[in-house]
Amino acid sequence: MSKKTILLIFLMVTSFIVFGCGKAKKNITLAGSTAFQPFAEKLADQYMQTKNDITITVQGGGSAVGIQAALSGSADIGMADLVELPSEAKELVATVVARDGIAIVVHPQNTAAELTTQQIRDIFNGNITNWKELGGADAPITVVSREAGSGTRSSFEEIVDSVRLRKDALIQDSNGTIRETVANDPNAIGYLSHGLINEKIKALKVDGQVSSEESIIAGKYKLVRPIFLLVKGNPAGDIKEFLDYILSAEGQQTIKENGLLPAKS
């Protein structure tokens, strides 16, 4: 063999050794609810700092994706934020790790401050189409909603009963993009996870109740849903350890600090 071939083989073998060795990392994937996704990422970061041999990846997609991924095994843990789990999730083991309020949000310049449940229903159904019917500016209401597989949407439509979304409502594919759309459009109204509210949008009072921790815990604010982490079969090993971490005092403290409600309060 020529010198070049020997050198090439040597380089290949050494690079395989260098890249192939190293501690084998265990992997956990979470997929599903975009409402819980930022919090799952934060918890995963904190957890990975305490344990070096495990990698946790978090994906979004919506609660329906979370259920499907857990059922099919494409994710280890499915995240779903639903008022109640649908029948196809029966065979999954569900753990409640947090509770979250759904806030009705508008642009900060919007003069509206509160709505009743009936008004919300009418807006999303298309019966009220202009802000002036609610005492605001003369501008058409731009309704922003999620896609059909979203847990936030399913919970919203279940709690605010009889919602048949108007045909020309804008559809966005995650809590984050709803926030961006509402933040950019002075006439928009949408719903998203209470934990995702920032200074770019304004949350409205619903039936006189603010979407704050106190009202939710007191049961006064009605738009609430639990966040389930779904596992196929009983959680064991690394998955169980991660779930235990989320339910531990430290995990629940992180959840509380970032705007969600702890699982038990």
Q: Which is nearer to other proteins, 61 or 235 (CB)?
A: 61
Say which residue the tokens 């926030």 belong to.
Answer: 179
| Least distance CB 65 / other proteins (angstroms) | 5
Q: Which residues bind other proteins (CB under 8 A)?
A: 61-62, 64-65, 67-68, 88, 142, 147-149, 167-173, 177, 180-181, 184-185, 187-188
| Least distance CB 62 / other proteins (angstroms) | 6
Q: Which is nearer to other proteins, 65 or 105 (CB)?
A: 65
Q: Which is nearer to other proteins, 70 or 229 (CB)?
A: 70
C-beta separation of 83 from 102 below 8 A:
no
| Least distance CB 133 / other proteins (angstroms) | 18
| Least distance CB 241 / other proteins (angstroms) | 28
| Least distance CB 188 / other proteins (angstroms) | 7
Q: Which is nearer to other proteins, 54 or 83 (CB)?
A: 83
Alpha-carbon distance of 175 to 105, in angstroms, equals 11
C-beta separation of 42 from 258 below 8 A:
yes
DSSP assignment of 163-201, as one string? Answer: ----TT-EEESSHHHHHHHHHH-TTEEEEEEGGG--TTS
Q: How far is CA 57 from CA 22, 44, 250, in A?
A: 20, 8, 20
Structure tokens at 233: 């079969």
Alpha-carbon distance of 247 to 244, in angstroms, equals 5
| Least distance CB 60 / other proteins (angstroms) | 9
Q: Which is nearer to other proteins, 87 or 234 (CB)?
A: 87
C-beta separation of 146 from 152 below 8 A:
yes
Q: Which is nearer to other proteins, 119 or 172 (CB)?
A: 172
Alpha-carbon distance of 79 to 37, in angstroms, equals 8
C-beta separation of 117 from 206 below 8 A:
yes
Alpha-carbon distance of 163 to 161, in angstroms, equals 6
